[in-house]
Amino acid sequence: MAADEQMRRACHIGIGRFPESAEHARVHCADTNLGELRTQSRALLLQPAGLVAPSDHAALHSGISRDNWHKRRKTGGKRKPYHKKRKYELGRPPANTKIGPRRIHTVRVRGGNKKYRALRLDVGNFSWGSECCTRKTRIIDVVYNASNNELVRTKTLVKNCIVLIDSTPYRQWYEAHYALPLGRKKGAKLTPEEEEILNKKRSKKIQKKYDERKKNAKIASILEEQFQQGKLLACIASRPGQCGRADGYVLEGKELEFYLRKIKARKGK
């Protein structure tokens, strides 16, 4: 009799309705190949019909929580949960911002404020510090992350990750500001617009101003090599998952040398 009851319950779990008798249950199980279900659902059969196992219940209703009262004490003892979960103890899933067409979600947070969760970004404002020049440019690739190689493999944009950006806006500004070519191979042909910017006829007063600028126009050889490749190494200083932007600064000097060594060492592995 107990076996018949188990058979009826197994079929009830599998096909969504309770058979009239054990004989009907056997027919249903044979037709729908649910004989295996009986063995797989033994844990469920021990409970009253319609109830969910405690572990499944927790999985359905658990969220990301940043409280510490669900953890054990230092002595190893359990704590009694004397209040329910609080809104201010919640956690939210990470943004995992990827490189792609701009996609930003708005999140309503404490106090009715808003956060901007960037899911995809492909441009940002990057500052060339030594020249006091900030331009909006395209993010090409993620090349280094000190905390996790997986974030490099998946090309995830986070704060302090090292990215490759397009150098064109900075080269255009430099050539217009100093009237000197930057990152161009010898003998390279210029377009009429570029020719006009570099070799334009100027008045004596304006030419004197450009001549003064040219005295301080020298840039580091490492940076010049990057301009020849058309890509610059930059560091993201904003938090894309919080403010919805991927802004940062162009790497220079000792910092640039450090990250070039790190990237080279990683490629050598």
Length of the chain: 269
Per-residue DSSP letter, 78: P
Q: Are 98 and 117 in contact (CB under 8 A)?
A: no
Express each pLDDT in 4-13 by its tens digit: 665 555 555 4
Other CB atoms closer than 10 Å to residue 263's CB: what's the count? 15
Q: pTM of the predicted model, to two decimals?
A: 0.72
Q: Are 94 and 239 in contact (CB under 8 A)?
A: no
Residue type, 208: K
Other CB atoms closer than 10 Å to residue 220's CB: what's the count? 13
- What is the structure's pLDDT at 4? 60
Residue type, 258: F
**Could you give the domains of the chain?**
2-61 (no CATH), 97-268 (3.10.290.70)
Q: How far apart are CA 76 and CA 64, in angstroms?
A: 23
Output phi, psi for 58, to 5 deg: -65, -40
Give the burial class of 85: count Cβ atoms within 10 A of its Cβ; 0-12 exposed, 13-18 middle, 19 or more buried. Answer: middle
Beta pairing partners, 93: none
Chain center to CA of 120 = 8
Other CB atoms closer than 10 Å to residue 246's CB: what's the count? 27
- What is the structure's pLDDT at 11? 53
Low-confidence ranges of the chain (pLDDT < 50): 13-16, 18, 25, 27, 29-34, 37, 43-46, 48-50, 52, 60
- What is the structure's pLDDT at 12? 53
Long-range contacts of 171-180 (CB under 8 A, 24+ apart): 171/227, 173/131, 173/133, 173/135, 174/131, 174/133, 174/217, 177/131, 177/133, 177/213, 178/210, 178/213, 178/214, 178/217, 179/210, 179/214, 180/214, 180/217
